[in-house]
Amino acid sequence: MLPPGRVRRAVAAGLLLLVASAAAEYPDRPIRLILSSAPGASSDVVSRILADELIKQMGRQIIIDNRPGAVQTIGTGMVVRANPDGYTIGYANVVTLAINKALLPDQPYDTDRDLALVGQFLSTYNLLAVTNALPVKSVKELIEYAKQNPGRLLNASSGNGTTGHLGGELFKIMTDTKIVHVPYKGTAQAIPDLMSGQVQVIFDNLTSISPHVKSGKVRGLGVSSLKRSAIFPDVPTISEAGVPGYETNSWGGVVVPVRTPRAIVSKLNAEINKALQSPTLKERYAAIEAEPTGGTPEQFAAYVKRERIKWAEVVRKSGAKVD
């Protein structure tokens, strides 16, 4: 009979072999990708582009499961509770991993404790746009109008806690203006109201707002990056147009339940980084002003930490709450 110590070592070795074998065969069936956003939202668009490349590479179907609502906690919670086998993965972004830490201190989970970061795969910026019915044609004119009409302008966003919401709060802090936040259930609901003039202002991801600016249905005033957009070279940055130092960006990556085997996390990370090198993906991302990023789980974690500090300060200064 083997001594207890050797039995434990033998069991541990056996488990390692099973995990290694499972990772080597992974994936052998479809993968579900949970998005905490509505169909048509920018995160939905960029995730589907990535999924198309992963399907080609991995030879398995990736099923997109949109679960919007509750400041992205519904979809994120589903990832947290999923079986940690690599067949349920999630999209997590600046909202779920950074902003909500300050905005929603009583979340039903802890993203640090309950999720494992696989890797960041994109970064993009917002565009400040206004309804054509508003008599302003620049950022400075918008600031002047807002100061002359405190509380009368409505800032639509795709939801509480988004960069459209907090980016607007940062704008108000830096310009000393009073603009009312109006959260929607998604960009697809907010933009029609912007076009019709029911709301007047939006800070929205370039991936979703750009077609409407190009068509002239809404007016673009400034981009939230510190350099001009390649697809809107004539639109100044918000920083250069009257709010020096203003910058926000939206980013996202893939996460899995925390107990997912490291070998599977590494496999997913490698596949994502490979997909981001695809000429097709790069072309499709460039068309919507999304930048493929990539990197290791550790690099993703370090970036999340920096972003949390920034957005916690915006929440603190603005007093932002879930409306």
Give me the pLDDT at residue 80, please: 98
Closest CA to 153 of 128, 181, 188, 185: 181
- Distance separating alpha carbons of residues 41 and 100, to the nearest angstrom: 19
Using a pLDDT cut of 90, give the percent of the chain over it: 84
Give me the pLDDT at residue 98, please: 96
Give me the pLDDT at residue 289, please: 87
* Phi and psi, residue 256, nearest 5°: -140, 165
**HSE-up of 56 (CA within 13 Å, CB side)?**
12
In this structure, are 118 and 254 located in the same domain? Answer: yes
Residue 116 resides in a domain: yes
* DSSP conformation class of 95: I
Give me the pLDDT at residue 9, please: 55
Question: How many domains does one find in the chain?
Answer: 2
- Domain span at residue 304? 29-123+249-318
In this structure, are 35 and 116 located in the same domain? Answer: yes
Residue that finishes a domain, picked among 189, 223, 257: 223
Residue 87 resides in a domain: yes
How many other C-beta atoms lie within 10 A of the C-beta of residue 184? 22
Residue 186 resides in a domain: yes
In this structure, are 44 and 73 located in the same domain? Answer: yes
Residue 308 resides in a domain: yes
Q: Over 90: is that where the pLDDT of 41 sits? A: no
Q: What is the pLDDT of residues 84-113, one digit of tens each?
A: 999 999 999 999 999 999 999 899 999 999
Q: What is the pLDDT of residues 109-157, one digit of tens each?
A: 999 999 999 999 999 999 999 999 999 999 999 999 999 999 999 999 9
How large is the average pLDDT for residues 234-259?
A: 97
In this structure, are 117 and 46 located in the same domain? Answer: yes
- Distance separating alpha carbons of residues 294 and 117, to the nearest angstrom: 12
CATH number for position 314: 3.40.190.150
Cβ within 8 Å of residue 21, ≥6 positions away: none
Residue 144 resides in a domain: yes
* Phi and psi, residue 183, nearest 5°: -80, 140
Q: What is the pLDDT of residues 194-208, one digit of tens each?
A: 999 999 999 999 988
**CA separation, residue 215 to residues 127, 212, 219, 248 (Å):** 15, 5, 9, 24
How many other C-beta atoms lie within 10 A of the C-beta of residue 19? 14
- Distance separating alpha carbons of residues 126 and 209, to the nearest angstrom: 9
Residue 240 resides in a domain: no
